[in-house]
DNA sequence: GCCAACGTTGGC
DNA sequence: GCCAACGTTGGC
């Protein structure tokens, strides 16, 4: 089993939205590095830290679980969709999605300033300078530390 | 709103 | 293939 961190702006889609929907398709990712994780590495049963970016403060808001591994991103194949990308024909998809299910919402989000204080997380991808990747791997050790901090 | 970091685009 | 210009991300 592997661990991941997905970023979302709460104004666009928050952990509360996921709690309401129960499951959702994580689609619309248009970055090749993130795409590779979605297509090749993220498997059902993997756990996902749900991160609120552009929030005050930004932080990890809860936990989700992957319920469907990589499949062609429907939003990229739908010409009427805002995130449509003509580069990917249905026969040779370029972009991928996974499905996740809400597991739990933390009592309080683990804020970025708080995470930065934790020595064991110093090497976490999220905390590296200029880390803009919206889908990131998380190590088992990092995940365990975060789970312990979560309320 | 500002701006640093980074990815992508496109001319050459 | 290089690299400048541009757009986006996301913390502050």
Strand partners, A72: A96
| Cα dihedral across residues A54, A59, A61, A64: positive or negative | positive
Query: Averaged over A107-112, what is the pLDDT?
Result: 94
Q: Please report, for residues A71, A104, A120, A126, the alpha-carbon distance to residue A51 in angstroms, rounded to integers and kept in the order given.
A: 22, 13, 18, 10
Note the CA–C1' distance, A31 to B8, in angstroms.
10
For residues A42 and A70, what is the distance between their CA atoms, to the nearest angstrom?
7
Query: Averaged over A42-52, what is the pLDDT?
Result: 97
For residues A25 and A75, what is the distance between their CA atoms, to the nearest angstrom?
10
DSSP alpha helices (H): ranges in A5-151? 15-21, 32-36, 74-77, 112-116, 140-149
Per residue in A54-84, pLDDT (tens digit) is 998 899 999 999 999 999 999 887 666 666 6
Note the CA–C1' distance, A43 to B8, in angstroms.
29
pLDDT for A91: 66
For residues A101 and A133, what is the distance between their CA atoms, to the nearest angstrom?
21
pLDDT for A86: 61
pLDDT for A78: 67
pLDDT for A89: 63
Using an 8 Å Cβ cutoff, are A5 and A15 in contact? Answer: no
DSSP alpha helices (H): ranges in A67-139? 74-77, 112-116
Determine which of A8-12, A22-26, A82-86 has the lowest per-residue pLDDT on average: A82-86
Asked whether residue A125, judged by its CB, lies under 7 Å from any atom of the DNA or RNA strand B, the reply is: no
pLDDT for A108: 93
């Amino acid at each position: 089993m592997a661990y991941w961190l997905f970023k979302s702006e709460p104004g666009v889609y928050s952990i509360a939205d996921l709690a309401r929907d129960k499951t959702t398709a994580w689609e619309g990712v248009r970055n090749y590095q993130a795409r590779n994780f979605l297509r090749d590495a993220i498997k059902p049963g993997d756990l996902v830290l749900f991160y609120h970016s552009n929030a005050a403060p930004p932080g990890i808001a809860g936990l989700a679980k992957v319920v469907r591994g990589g499949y062609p991103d429907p939003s990229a194949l739908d010409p009427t969709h805002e995130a449509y990308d003509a580069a990917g024909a249905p026969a040779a998809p370029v972009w991928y999605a996974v499905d996740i299910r809400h597991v739990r919402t933390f009592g309080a989000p683990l804020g970025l300033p708080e995470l930065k204080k934790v020595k064991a997380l110093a090497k976490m991808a999220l905390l590296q300078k200029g880390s803009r990747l919206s889908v990131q791997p998380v190590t088992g050790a990092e995940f365990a530390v975060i789970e312990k901090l979560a309320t």
